[in-house]
Amino acid sequence: MPELPEVETIVKFLSKHLTGLRIISGKLFCSQICKDKKPLDPGILKGFQIRDVRRRGKVILIDLDGNITILFHLGMTGQLFFSSPRVSLDRHTHFVLKFARYPQELRFRDVRRFGYLAFMRTDEIFLNQRFKRLGPEPLEMTFPMFISLFKGRRARLKSLLLDQHFIAGIGNIYADEILFRAKLHPLLSVSLLETFHLKRLWRAMRDVLRQAIKHKGSTIRTYINAKTHPGEFQSFHRVYAKEAHPCSVCHSQIKRIKMNGRSTYFCPKCQDLRSIC
DNA sequence: GCCACTGTTAGCAT
DNA sequence: CATGCTAACAGTGG
């Protein structure tokens, strides 16, 4: 469930339930899922209390007292959910946290293992290379800030939207949905964009992400994530996974192409390349 | 069985 | 630096 709206939804949920809980144990079942250079024994988490749950881009940060933060990235198939300890762990559950006076444990499960977790000092998070290089939050950007990001760039529009160093949090679904609503072709070189195009893009980005958060994100392939969050934004998708469907605006057939190895959906008429170059 | 997919991104080549 | 391709993984569906 890993784009900004899904991560935001999970963070809100976790924040509500985790804040104030005291950890009695942490167990790692798959050492490769922990990205730390010096893998920390999660047993040392015992006794610390959860202060806050935050998001930065697609990353989830769980702050404990004692200057400790647990970082999670869900990759493609990561799940973070509560479960009764009586439900047996399957082979894809890689990390479990247990709490004092709380009947449920928090489990991190990830079938494809593109996700990861890491332990960091809370006050050092933003000194970390990973975070230093992360682009700005799309919902915390003014239009002038947004414009300045494009200066001197010439990559194709969708590639840039997907680049987490450019803007943090947008993935394959929301890139396509944003471009459809901005009426811009994914293959456009951003050097061709004028201020009014960027205005459309900025508005579409904010609208799509806000709407998606309001609907608790998109739940695709429910067998993977219904456990954690049944979102409803998928019913508002206009192009993603809609190859050959009629465009909701002009009734042309939605096209699918491959871009950077990812499926890319768009309306060939509403998002016409030739209208710009 | 084989091949093409899949909500990601680090690391490498150009 | 900027950009784009590939591999890492496991599962599903044709």
Judgement on whether residues A98 and A157 belong to the same structural domain of the protein: no
Judgement on whether residues A157 and A266 belong to the same structural domain of the protein: yes
Query: Residue A184 in contact with residue A157, Cβ under 8 Å?
Result: yes
Of A151, A154, A211, A149, which Cα lies nearest the Cα of A180? A211
Note the strand B nucleotides within 7 A of protein beta carbons. 5-10
Mean pLDDT of the region A97-109: 97
Separation of A113 CA and C7 C1' (Å): 13
Q: Is the CB of A156 under 7 A from strand C?
A: yes
On whether residue A216 sits in a domain, the answer given is yes
Judgement on whether residues A163 and A76 belong to the same structural domain of the protein: no
Q: Is the CB of A111 under 7 A from strand B?
A: no
Q: Which residue has the higher pLDDT, A276 or A120?
A: A120
The total number of structural domains in chain A stands at 2
On whether residue A138 sits in a domain, the answer given is no
Q: Is the CB of A225 under 7 A from strand B?
A: yes
Separation of A215 CA and C11 C1' (Å): 27
Q: Is the CB of A261 under 7 A from strand C?
A: yes
Judgement on whether residues A37 and A64 belong to the same structural domain of the protein: yes
| Domain membership of residue A218 as a residue range | 143-275
Judgement on whether residues A166 and A147 belong to the same structural domain of the protein: yes
Q: Is the CB of A2 under 7 A from strand B?
A: yes
On whether residue A114 sits in a domain, the answer given is yes
Q: What's the pLDDT tens digit per position in A113-161?
A: 999 999 999 999 999 988 999 999 999 999 999 999 999 999 999 999 9
The confidence score (pLDDT) of residue A1 equals: 62
- Catalytically annotated residues of A: 2-3, 58, 262
The confidence score (pLDDT) of residue A222 equals: 56
Q: What is the CATH number of the domain that holds A155?
A: 1.10.8.50
CA distance readout (Å), A165 to A134, A266, A271: 5, 24, 25
Separation of A147 CA and B14 C1' (Å): 28
Judgement on whether residues A11 and A62 belong to the same structural domain of the protein: yes
Query: Residue A176 in contact with residue A262, Cβ under 8 Å?
Result: no
Q: What's the pLDDT tens digit per position in A171-216?
A: 999 999 999 999 999 999 999 999 999 999 999 999 999 999 999 9
Judgement on whether residues A117 and A35 belong to the same structural domain of the protein: yes
Q: With H, G, I as helix, E, B as strand and everything else as coil, classify residue A263.
A: strand
Q: In what order do the strands lie in the sheet with A23-28?
A: A23-28, A93-99, A105-110, A78-83
For residue A51, the one-letter residue type is: R
Judgement on whether residues A172 and A270 belong to the same structural domain of the protein: yes
Domain end (from A107, A132, A157): A132
Domain end (from A102, A132, A162): A132
Q: Is the CB of A153 under 7 A from strand C?
A: yes
On whether residue A213 sits in a domain, the answer given is yes
On whether residue A137 sits in a domain, the answer given is no
Beta-carbon count within 10 A of A86 CB: 6
On whether residue A242 sits in a domain, the answer given is yes
Note the strand C nucleotides within 7 A of protein beta carbons. 2-12
Q: With H, G, I as helix, E, B as strand and everything else as coil, classify residue A210.
A: helix
Beta-carbon count within 10 A of A184 CB: 28
CA A117 to chain centre: 15
- Residue A277 pLDDT more than 90? no
Query: Residue A55 in contact with residue A2, Cβ under 8 Å?
Result: no
- Residue A227 pLDDT more than 70? no
Q: Which residue has the higher pLDDT, A58 or A224?
A: A58
- Residue A228 pLDDT more than 80? no
- Residue A223 pLDDT more than 80? no
Between CA A99 and CA A53 the distance in angstroms is 16
Q: What is the CATH number of the domain that holds A38?
A: 3.20.190.10
Judgement on whether residues A126 and A155 belong to the same structural domain of the protein: no
Judgement on whether residues A13 and A62 belong to the same structural domain of the protein: yes
DSSP characters for A230-254? ---GGGG-SSTT-TTSBPTTT-PBP
Judgement on whether residues A263 and A171 belong to the same structural domain of the protein: yes
Nearest-CA residue relative to C1' of C7: A114
